[in-house]
Amino acid sequence: MATDQALHGLDNLEVGPGAGRGVSSGRAARKTWAATWPKLLAVLLVLAVWQVVHLSGWKKLVLKGPGTVLPDLWQMAHHALIWQAIGVTMQRAALGYVLALIFGTVIGMLVARIPPLRAALGSIITGLQTMPSIAWYPFAIILFTAGTDAILFVMIMGGAPAIANGLITGVDYTPPILLRAGRTMGLRGLTLYRYLVLPASLPAYMAGLKQGWAFAWRSLIAGELIVSIIGPPGLGVLLNTDESNLDFAGTTSVIIVLLLIGIVVDMIFTKADLAVRRRRGLLDPAAAT
């Protein structure tokens, strides 16, 4: 049939060949290199500036150059202490983040769905988000005494509002045309939420999750610096000890470790975010390939 053929022809013309699917290994390697060299260059630049400052003699007595600190970091990597500290801190990070995620998601969902709750809590959530989480520590320590509980509490106070806000934004920005389509299909109440509103909110929710992580992570490290806990030390405690010993190399090494953890976690979030956006066609194809 003529219509049939014309339509198929048009479809194939408009969709085009599956471009950019089979990427050769050579091209993949070039792509990796293109993504890597600017980062390497940035690291080298930082090291160079550091070395120059060190050579200038500024704060000569305490400021060590990369030539001292990097071997120290290397030494540290061969001892169990730092790995144990990373383990302790990451365990707390995971627990605190999951708690913040649960609280943030539940509160966000309730606030987005129940108008009086939004009127009551909407601005409080935003207010909490702008509050420096370190300000919660005196309160938390009085409430829970100094310990992991206090840290977890502050992590929740730091992370949950951002996560809730991300979800609320996502729900608010659900395109009305999709809601109309969903209602026409007969989606109502909770099913409307499950199949339409929540998936539609995912990009904004992911942004909230990422921001929530940043807040929770900061709260955690601040907590480990402030709250003295019995038991194996976390990264914050190591920082504290190094500071007491005026150990510049040790302090700097721990900071580098914190930075590396931050970068790795950020990469994970970015990757997840890219995957969501690519699936929904929210990426500029020229930039995405």
Partner 1 sequence: MRVGNDRVTPPPRSAGASALSEPMLAGQAGLANQAGRAGERNIAVELAEVSKAYGTGASRLLALDGVSLTVADGEFVCIIGASGCGKSTLLNLVAGLDKPTGGQVDTGGRRVGLMFQEPALFPWLTAGRNVELALRARGVPRTPRREQTRELLETVRLSGFADKRPHELSGGMRQRVAMARALALDADVLLMDEPFGALDAMTRDLLHEELERICAERTLTVLFVTHNVREAARLGDRVIVLSSRPGRVIAEYEVPRHGPRRIDSTEVAQMAGQLTDRLREEMGRHGN
Q: In terms of C-beta distances under 8 Å and separation of at least 24 residues, what long-range contacts does 260-269 make, across chains too?
A: 261/86, 261/90, 262/217, 265/213, 265/217, 266/210, 269/206, 269/209, 269/210, 269/213
| Among the listed residues 281, 284, 286, 287, the single contact to partner 1 using CB under 8 A | 281
Coil vs helix vs strand at 267: helix
| Among the listed residues 85, 150, 196, 238, the single contact to partner 1 using CB under 8 A | 196
| Contact between 199 and partner 1 per CB under 8 A | yes
The CA-based dihedral angle spanning residues 246, 252, 254, 256, taken in that order and rounded to the nearest 10 degrees: 170
Binding mask 141-170 for partner 1 (x = CB under 8 A): ------------------------------
Instruction: Select from 98-106, 163-171, 196-204, 256-264 the region that touches partner 1 (CB under 8 A).
Output: 196-204
| Contact between 191 and partner 1 per CB under 8 A | yes
Sign of CA dihedral 9, 14, 15, 21: positive
Q: Are 94 and 265 spatial neighbours (Cβ–Cβ below 8 Å)?
A: no
Q: Note the Cα 149 to chain centre separation in Å.
A: 22
Give the residue among 163, 130, 162, 146 at the shortest CA–CA distance from 223. 146
Please report, as residue ranges, which positions from 15 to 74 form the binding site for partner 1 (by CB under 8 A): 15
Instruction: Select from 35-43, 95-103, 194-202, 239-247 the region that touches partner 1 (CB under 8 A).
Output: 194-202
Instruction: Select from 102-110, 127-135, 162-170, 191-199 the region that touches partner 1 (CB under 8 A).
Output: 191-199
| Among the listed residues 41, 42, 124, 178, the single contact to partner 1 using CB under 8 A | 178
48 vs 288, beta carbon nearer partner 1: 288
176 secondary structure, DSSP code:
H
Count, residues in the chain: 289
| Among the listed residues 30, 59, 180, 271, the single contact to partner 1 using CB under 8 A | 180
Q: Which stretches of the chain bind partner 1, using CB under 8 A?
A: 3-4, 6-8, 10-11, 14-15, 175, 177-178, 180-181, 183-187, 191, 195-196, 199-200, 202, 276, 279-282
